[in-house]
Amino acid sequence: MDGIVSDSDTITLNVDGMTCTSCEDNVRGALMAVSGVISADVSHTSSTAVINSQGVERNALSTAVRIVGYTVDGMGLEFNWKDVSVWKTSAYNTMWCLIGCSIGDFGTIAAFQFIFTDSGWSTMSIMLLAMLNGLLTSIALETLILAKQIGLSEGFKVAIGMSLISMISMESAMNIVDYLLTGGAMLTWWVMPIMLLAGFITPWPYNYWRLKKYGKACH
């Protein structure tokens, strides 16, 4: 029920969308910002938030969590495209995904462009390999980041659960731009910024939608 709770009452929320300790910090910060909240014990492993509060409605706590991009009891905020905080968060997540993808993608193209110049591989084959390696390095980077927080094994499980739609659209955008501007499988000083821009913009709206509607980050 969403009625007024008594002093020092304890409320437990079922929070979906948390994948790491950073998510826990986001939820905890949102709850502690609610007037009347005394403490908030948040766990991404059990998908719960246990709140001690004085005179705070459950609905107020649920709304605070939903505002920062997570779902409570299977429900998020009514979807819209006007949430500045979600745009910022999704941009940050997209940036990290782009960094991971571009390491493998650019590294593969550079290897065939400057080292394995007589490999006999077709342009399309090189670009497909670049896309695959981009996906792998993005997952590897996320695993390393999360390993410091939740351990290597758990970090890998979270990393492979990242949005493939986001990463594939990012990789496709970068390589299509490369193909249209250079003929493909070629890096120049001027094409790389354009590739990165296309790789960022293409999945960003989808990442916003996924975070806003389901509380799930792409990265």
Q: Are 73 and 13 in contact (CB under 8 A)?
A: yes
User: Per mean pLDDT, which range of 1-5, 48-52, 129-133 is the poorest?
Assistant: 1-5
In the chain the domains, ranked by start, together with CATH numbers, are 9-72 (3.30.70.100), 84-214 (no CATH)
Q: Tell the residue number behind the tokens 């659960």, with chain if given.
A: 161
Distance CA 148, CA 87 (A): 26
- C-alpha distances (whole Å) from 161 to each of 40, 105, 167, 219 are 27, 20, 12, 9
8-state DSSP, 217: -
Average pLDDT over residues 2-21: 74
**Looking at residue 217, what is its pLDDT?**
65
Q: What is the pLDDT of residues 205-219, one digit of tens each?
A: 998 888 777 666 666
User: What does pLDDT average to over the chain?
Assistant: 88
* Residue 7: pLDDT over 80: no
* Residue 3: pLDDT over 60: no
Hey, what are 128's tokens?
Answer: 């497909």
Q: Residue 170's closest CA among 135, 137, 146?
A: 135
Average pLDDT over residues 165-177: 95
Give the count of beta carbons closer than 10 Å to the beta carbon of residue 151.
Answer: 11
Residue 42 three-state SS: strand
Average pLDDT over residues 147-155: 77
**Looking at residue 168, what is its pLDDT?**
94
Q: Residue 161's closest CA among 42, 47, 18, 41?
A: 18
Long-range contacts of 111-118 (CB under 8 A, 24+ apart): 112/185, 113/185, 113/186, 113/187
Q: What is the pLDDT of residues 52-104, one digit of tens each?
A: 998 899 989 998 898 887 889 877 767 789 888 889 888 988 999 999 999 99
Q: Tell the residue number behind the tokens 């429900």, with chain if given.
A: 75
* Residue 41: pLDDT over 90: yes
